[in-house]
Every structure is written in structure tokens, then in C-alpha cells.
Chains A and B, each alone.
Chain A
Amino acid sequence: MSDQEASELILEPERYELSAAAPYRFDIDRREFFKVLGCGVVVLFLVDAALAQQETGGGRRRGGGGQRPAEISAWLHIGEDGTITVFTGKVEVGQNIRTSLTQAVAEELRAPVESIRMVMADTELTPYDAGTFGSRTTPDMAAQLHKIAAEAREALLDLAADSFKCERDSLTLANGKISRSGANDSIAFGQLTKGQKLVKSVNDKSSPTPAADWKIAGTSVPKVNGRELVTGKHRYASDINRPGMLHGKVLRPSAFDATLASVDTKAAEAMPGVTVVHDGDFVGVTAPDVLTAERAIAAIKAEWTAKPQVSSAELFDYLKKNTRGPQRTGRANEAGSAEGTPAADQKLQQTYTVAYIAHTPLEPRAAVAEWKDDKLTVWTGTQRPFGVRGDVAQAFGIPEDRVHLIAPDTGSGYGGKHTTAAATEAARLSKAVGKPVKLVWTREEEFTWGYFRPAGIIEVSSGVRSDGTITEWEFHNYNSGNSGVRSPYDIPGQRSEFHPTAYPLKQGSYRGLASTANHFAREVHMDELARAVKMDPLEFRLKNLRDSRLRAVLEAAAKAFGWGKTKAADGHGFGIAAGTEKGSYLATCAEVAVDRKTGVVKVLRAVAAFECGAIVNPDHLKNQVEGAMVMGLGGALFEAVQFENGKITNPRLSDYRVPRFTDMPAIEIVLLDRKDVPSAGAGETPIIGIAPAVGNAIFDATGIRLRSMPMTPQELLKAGA
């Protein structure tokens, strides 16, 4: 992967969201560590400043602070009681990084997992972090923690050598203790750090334990806080209760971009315990309980001025007609030259579409805000705690160091919690009443006032020779995004472009970004080409593919599925798809049963083979691959946000269908472990294969080609009629 491609991967997640001011960075200098932590050994990770700028999408510290050679991205502290505490701005949203990052530290310190405490996503305790997105936690943060902990290990060995007055070579580290070979004595980390004030720093040049030698990393350590989760004791942001806390609710506009024409709040104000807060277009209430807050909002008479807006029925026409300006330069991917390529025997041109879909995290956006002496504390579920802190500070015109933002382990995000207006709304209400306020968005608010995975149109034109060689490939994505736009197949002179357009709904990141849409179009088109030349779809892919990692997952998935061994039963079909994104590789096979009368598709069996370098936690990785595949079924078969004139018309789980227990196929996951390759993130990419695999299986079962996600029974019946 080129540097440019790598930086595009990093920048892509926030393409739609970086309009906000550059985030200020709250710098804690080294002296301040000890105020927070007391004595002990501290190791910091220093990121090269130039690299940090690139990683955060150009967002730099505002204001002075002078020249700093580097930014701190994480640190580790070993206290006098032997407690190992790790500080990182990353957020746990269900991807299991609280555990995997703990494993990285345990590995290098040869310390039990239970002796390590992770402090995460707290703007006063943890170093600045741009956010938890782009599958960067494992390649970046885990790698840094390995290095920090390795340095801490070396520092402890130095201290032990001094303490024992022996050579370092005679010391071994195990179970949080250092012992001397030949002698029958050992010393615990806590004893070594007693009275010490030792600060070390490391940078990218440090070298941690190679994956082939891992003992704790690379194993299926269970969730470190599992007990908290099965007992309901863990407090998500929406579970924070504060003394004297009130409940808030916000009056929502009648449509997107509507402005408040008039408002009468008298009836609401007259309700016992209710306070109405009216500030410009913001109208909200606080009340002692949620029901009273709901009643107060219902009692407000408001008139809104709304503009006519595009509806879902016109969506694709609108996107195509509103391509903005010239195609993004530097994004047109051209590979090789088509010169000298023999002419195609067959040409194919097709258009694919994907709908807007909603992340639907089970925990809706929520925040608790509390002001004390002009300082604001906010608990909120977000993937960008530092970014949301900036949003909140900006809304009140206060410096960021007066906002303390805490993102407790969150009830999922899937790319959907980069922003949360709930934080600012709760803070506004709390400021007005001088008490802590909790605001939990309703499901309807979550479906309406967040942002969506972009809808898109993808046009593919291609040529193929009768022997199965692809000779031409042109791929144009309108609006949905650039991720995964480039074909991994070896096609000389291929051209792949992303075309930004004007768009009707607020749109942003979603697990896997546009890679899901692009892989759907590409892998369905590949199936169409294979059929055109009467080749087996697996054989056709392999014929046009040199990338050994992608070939390996294709072959592994096919083998586990039994591809080519049997013919599908009547009304059943088999499909295969593959792809690569964010440094990991996926192939998916699916078997479907199609009811030709109702158009209902049931996915009976799904096999995924996945490779993301050295595996950090096999069971958690398997869980991610399974889960991504299940989530992907929703976009493949059911999910589409419907909207009309500035309103979402299906903002309820009863109207917006997501995968349920009864939709589950039998799932089999094959993991390929490449200890020789650095670990890539794995929470996103496994979502990209299921939709095209299912689409291709539907064709196999029925001869009907569906080119729009979701592939609903209505579409199937329409196409089959």
C-alpha cells in the first residue's frame, strides 16, 4: 500500500465530518503525570508531530503552547502498589479493545491480565486521541502499547539489576515479578517502583516482542470486564445517575433544516417541576422524570418553517443529477496501461445502488451533563471524545479545558457516534437549571437526528475475453464513498473513481465505509462476468487475481464451504464474494433459499475466511467476523432509510428491519493467522462480503440478478415478474 493510500484510509472516515474547527489539544506536560499518578514508573509514547498531524486529519492544537517536538499518544504507569495503569483516548464500543489493548501490555510486561487497568476515553486523564475509527486501534494504539510496555519492562529490569546488584542477563520476568536465576528470590514490580520517579519515553523505533513469540497476546483472553457486563453493573453513559439530576427532552423541528417561526411554552412552564429552556431555535425542557418531560414537550405549541426537500423516491435521480464539480483529483485510481491488451469478447455495463441505512446502535445517543463552578462534565457515548469535547466547548464559547468529557464503554457505534448533539443539548439544559441533566435520545430521535451511511450509485463497465481474462474495467461511485473503490483484481488500465454529489440526508461514517457498497457492486459484477463466459465464479476470480493474501482467503472459504462439490438444491443457490480493505482480507460464501412466490430470501449458511495479519485474540476476532456478517445481512436484505420532504418516515424498529435471531444462518468462520504480518484492525472489513455473496447466491437460485441493496422481496418479485 502506498503512503498516499494509507493516508486516505485514515482520512476517509471523517470526510463528511471535518467541517468543525480543528480540535484543540489538551496537553498535559510530564510534571502533571505525577500529580495524577504519584510515584512510580511512567512510560510515554511520543508520536512524531508530523505523523500526528496526518493521523488527525490536519487537526492541530489551537493557541500557543510553543513548539513541541512530539505529541503524547498514550502512557503507562506502574505504581508503588504494583498496579499497572494504561491511559489511552480510545473508546470501547464493543470491538473488545479494552481486552486486546490489555493483552498488548500484559504480553510485554509478562504480567497477569488482571493486574492491568485500562483508563480510556477520559479527556482529563488520557492523552488526546482523534477518535476510535478507521480500524486504527490495533495497528496504531496496540502497537504503541506494546512498545511502551516493552520499555517499562526494560526499565524494571534496570531497577531490579540495581536492587539485586547483579547483571541484567541473569534476571527473568514472569507473573508481574522479576526473579534472579540461580537465586531463590524475586521482587515485585511495586517494590521496585517504590520511591521512584522515573519517566521514560519511547517512539516508533522501539521494538516489541514479535508475534511469533507472543504468550498472552494472540490468545483468547475473555473480556476483561465481562462480569460487569453480564451483571448489568457496567454504566453506559445513559446509566449515569447524579445527585439531584433532572431529565431533559428537546423539541425537534418538524423537518430537517426547519426554523422556528413561533413557539408558545406557557402550558409546559405551568407544569410542576418543569423548566423550559428557549435559546434561538433550541427549545428543551427539564423535569423530574422522563414522562413529565415528554408531556411538557407535547404541551409546547410550535410552528416551524420548512423547505421542500428530496424524498427517497427521487434519491438516485437526485444523486446522479447533482454530481458536484470535477471528480476529485488524486482519487482516480488507474492501474497499469491497457495498451496491448487484447480486445474483449464481451462487454458489460451495469448500474448498482445502495440505500441510506442507519447504524441503529442499541444504545441511542445519550448524555449526562453537570456544571460546577463554570466547569462542565459530560458523560456521553461517542467514538470521538476529544472531538465532542471540542463541539461542546465551541457551543458555549468556552476553552476546552473547562469541559471534561468522559466516554464510558459505549453501547456500540459502528461509525455512527462520531458526533453527538446529545452532549451539547444536555449541557445547555443543565446550564439553565443549575443541576445535572440526563438526556437520552429516543429511538425515533436516534433514527432521525444522527447521520446515515451514504446512499450511492455505482456504474461499472467492463470487458472480458472468452477465456475469462478481464480486459477492461471502469468503476464510478457516486456519493457513497471512496473506500474500497479500487479493484484488487489484476486488470490493466482499470479506472476507478469516486464522484462526490450533493446529498439529501446528513451522512457520515459507517462500519466499513463505502467498501460495502463498492464490494457489492464489484463482486456482483464479477459474478455477472463469470456467468457471461460460463466460468465458475471462484475459478474466474482466481484467474484474474495475483494477490496471494486474497487468494488465500478465497481458497479457504471455498474449501470450508465445499464450493464446487455439490449442486444447490432446487430453490437454493450458492454465492461467493471476496475483497480487501484496511489491510485485511475476506472471502464469504453463502447458501440461500428463495421463495419464488413471496420473494423472501433466507440465508441458510454463511462461511467467511478472514485474514488480518497476526491474530491478537482469536475468539474476539471470530466474534467480530460473525457479528459483522450478521450486521451486513441487514444492509443486504432489509435495511433502507425512507424519507419524505425532510422527515424520516420509518424511524422505528417496527418499521426499519434489522437482523434478528430468526434471520441467522449457520455461520462458520475460518481465521488465517499470519504471524509474520503486523496485525490490522478487524472490526470493519468482515462486513463487506455478505451482501454480494447473498446477491450472487440469489442469482444462482433463481437466475434473477439484483443490483440494489437492500435486496428485498419486492425487488425480487419485480425483477422476476
Chain B
Amino acid sequence: MARVKHVIVNGKEFAIDVDGERTLLSVLRDDLDLTGTKYGCGEGQCGACTVLLDGVPIHSCRARMSTVLRRKVTTIEGLETDGRLHPLQEAFLKAGAMQCAYCTSGMIMAGVGLLQKKPNPSDEDILAGMKGNLCRCGTYQRIFAAIKDGAKALQGGAK
């Protein structure tokens, strides 16, 4: 069985020694203690495990370690810069876009991925980008608003 010896997460290279069949989700949570990324369904239906792989949102519960070799993983723990929240994290707080917040990391990562691709997303873009993420508490309307607000903040910041 192929072993995977390192992984790049949030800009840092970690020396590991894991079975290449293990999921990225499990290695993040159980080996690197990066527990902000959550398990929800194991079949890519809920999005709680969303991380960015080379900037693109993926379901880490379905990504085998052998497929993430030498690629850059970004998790919720990697969004803050110098103790400052990412504008989308701020937008989620401002919109109160959570209840139990178990989906929040995945929502924010999916949102960050979406806004990288579509900095000024239409409503349809948001639906298309977020439809793989579930919030059982039903805060979708607020998450929607947070993404719009985050988009504005990001564009403002880019000026």
C-alpha cells in the first residue's frame, strides 16, 4: 500500500506517514489536529468537510491522500491572516449566519472558493456554488446574505 509522507496545509509542509487510501479529512482531523473541517456524511452530500485544494473547493471526505500529493490544501484554520479574520468570516458573523455552526467551516470554505472564481457572484452563481453544502439548522438565507456581503468586502479590499 502506497504511503504518503507529507502534506501541504495552510502553507506549511507536514511530515506524515499515512496510508494513501486514507481520506484527507481524516488526516487533517486525526493526524494534524485541524478539527475545524468536519465529517458530516462521508459521501460528498453535505459539504461539512469542504476545503480548498489548490484553491478549488473539494469534499475532503472523498479525497484520498494519494490524490492530494504536492497540492496545496487550505482549511478554515488557514483563513485568518495575522489574527485578522477573512472578510467572509467577518460577513458570517455580521449576518449571524449560523446556529449550531457545525456546517460553518464548510460553508465558509465553499464561499471562499466561490468568490475566488466569481468575485461578484449573481444569485444563481451563489446557488450553484453552495448547493453542495447543507445547513440543517436552515440558515441558508443568512449564509446567502453573508456571501453577498463578503463579496462586497473582498472587492472593496482589493481596490
Question: B49-74 vs A: 1/0 string, CB under 8 Å?
Answer: 00000000000000000000000000
A659-B138 contact, Cβ under 8 Å, with A362-B38, A664-B144: yes
Contacts of B37 in A (CB 8 A): 232
With an 8 Å Cβ cutoff, the count of chain B residues facing the other chain is: 58
Any A CB within 8 A of the CB of B121: no
A291-B22 contact, Cβ under 8 Å, with A440-B39, A653-B41: yes
Contacts of A631 in B (CB 8 A): 136-138
Report the interface size class on chain A.
Answer: 35 or more
- Taken together as a complex, chains A and B put the C-alpha atoms of A239 and B105 apart, in Å, by 13
Inter-subunit contact B35/A241 (CB<8 Å) = yes
Contacts of B46 in A (CB 8 A): 362, 443, 653
Inter-subunit contact B26/A231 (CB<8 Å) = no
CB under 8 Å from chain B, chain A span 590-622: 619-620
Contacts of A703 in B (CB 8 A): none
CB under 8 Å from chain A, chain B span 92-112: 92-93, 96, 98-105, 108
CB under 8 Å from chain B, chain A span 620-649: 620, 623-624, 626-631
Any B CB within 8 A of the CB of A363: yes
Any B CB within 8 A of the CB of A234: yes
Report the nearest A residue to B23, measured CB to CB: A291
Shortest A681–chain B CB gap in Å is: 15
A626-B22 contact, Cβ under 8 Å, with A93-B100, A233-B36: no
Inter-subunit contact A654/B33 (CB<8 Å) = no
CB under 8 Å from chain A, chain B span 1-49: 18-19, 21-23, 26, 29-31, 33-43, 45-46, 48
Contact of B102 among A289, A362, A626, A629 (CB under 8 A): A362
Contact of A241 among B33, B104, B136, B142 (CB under 8 A): B33
Any B CB within 8 A of the CB of A227: yes
Contact of A231 among B77, B96, B135 (CB under 8 A): B77
Any B CB within 8 A of the CB of A410: yes
Inter-subunit contact A94/B89 (CB<8 Å) = no
Contacts of B141 in A (CB 8 A): 626, 664, 667
Any A CB within 8 A of the CB of B139: yes
Shortest A581–chain B CB gap in Å is: 18
Inter-subunit contact A232/B76 (CB<8 Å) = yes
Report the nearest A residue to B99, measured CB to CB: A94
CB under 8 Å from chain A, chain B span 72-94: 75-77, 79-80, 85, 89, 92-93
Report the nearest B residue to A240, measured CB to CB: B35
Contact of B131 among A233, A628, A652, A660 (CB under 8 A): A660
Any A CB within 8 A of the CB of B115: no
Contacts of A664 in B (CB 8 A): 140-141, 144
Inter-subunit contact A410/B18 (CB<8 Å) = no
Inter-subunit contact A626/B127 (CB<8 Å) = no
- Taken together as a complex, chains A and B put the C-alpha atoms of A236 and B29 apart, in Å, by 12
Question: A222-261 vs B: 1/0 string, CB under 8 Å?
Answer: 1100110111111110110100000100000000000000
CB under 8 Å from chain B, chain A span 79-108: 93-96
Report the nearest B residue to A228, measured CB to CB: B101
Contact of A623 among B39, B92, B96, B130 (CB under 8 A): B96
Which residue of B33, B96, B139 has the most chain A CB atoms within 10 A of its CB atom? Answer: B96
Which residue of B34, B40, B131 has the most chain A CB atoms within 10 A of its CB atom? Answer: B40
Question: B105-136 vs A: 1/0 string, CB under 8 Å?
Answer: 10010000000000000000011001101111
Shortest B41–chain A CB gap in Å is: 4
Inter-subunit contact A653/B43 (CB<8 Å) = yes
Inter-subunit contact A630/B140 (CB<8 Å) = yes
- Taken together as a complex, chains A and B put the C-alpha atoms of A235 and B102 apart, in Å, by 10
Inter-subunit contact A362/B21 (CB<8 Å) = no
- Taken together as a complex, chains A and B put the C-alpha atoms of A543 and B108 apart, in Å, by 48
Inter-subunit contact B134/A627 (CB<8 Å) = no
* Interface of chain B, main secondary structure: loop
Contacts of A627 in B (CB 8 A): 99, 137-139
A661-B136 contact, Cβ under 8 Å, with A227-B85, A626-B142, A653-B41: no
- Taken together as a complex, chains A and B put the C-alpha atoms of A619 and B98 apart, in Å, by 12
- Taken together as a complex, chains A and B put the C-alpha atoms of A660 and B130 apart, in Å, by 9
Contacts of B93 in A (CB 8 A): 222-223, 226-227, 230
- Taken together as a complex, chains A and B put the C-alpha atoms of A289 and B25 apart, in Å, by 12
Contacts of B79 in A (CB 8 A): 231
Inter-subunit contact B89/A289 (CB<8 Å) = no
Contacts of A409 in B (CB 8 A): 100
Contacts of B31 in A (CB 8 A): 289
CB under 8 Å from chain A, chain B span 135-155: 135-144
Contact of A652 among B33, B45, B98 (CB under 8 A): B45
A620-B43 contact, Cβ under 8 Å, with A289-B22, A627-B138: no
Inter-subunit contact B76/A94 (CB<8 Å) = no
- Taken together as a complex, chains A and B put the C-alpha atoms of A203 and B129 apart, in Å, by 53
- Taken together as a complex, chains A and B put the C-alpha atoms of A440 and B135 apart, in Å, by 19
Contact of B96 among A361, A363, A619 (CB under 8 A): A619
Inter-subunit contact A362/B96 (CB<8 Å) = no
Which residue of B77, B140, B143, B144 has the most chain A CB atoms within 10 A of its CB atom? Answer: B140
Inter-subunit contact A653/B45 (CB<8 Å) = yes
Any B CB within 8 A of the CB of A290: yes
Contacts of A96 in B (CB 8 A): 99
- Taken together as a complex, chains A and B put the C-alpha atoms of A280 and B14 apart, in Å, by 42
Question: A435-471 vs B: 1/0 string, CB under 8 Å?
Answer: 0000010110000000000000000000000000000
Any B CB within 8 A of the CB of A412: yes
Shortest A412–chain B CB gap in Å is: 4
Inter-subunit contact B100/A412 (CB<8 Å) = yes
Any B CB within 8 A of the CB of A658: yes
Report the nearest B residue to A410, measured CB to CB: B100
- Taken together as a complex, chains A and B put the C-alpha atoms of A620 and B143 apart, in Å, by 14
Q: Could you give 5 example pairs across A and B, Cβ below 8 Å?
A: A96-B99, A414-B136, A652-B43, A653-B45, A659-B138
4 A-B pairs with the lowest CB-CB distances in the bound complex, closest first: A232-B36, A630-B138, A94-B100, A411-B102
Interface, chain A (partner B; CB < 8 A): 93-96, 222-223, 226-227, 229-236, 238-239, 241, 247, 289-292, 360-364, 409-412, 414, 440, 442-443, 619-620, 623-624, 626-631, 652-654, 658-662, 664, 667
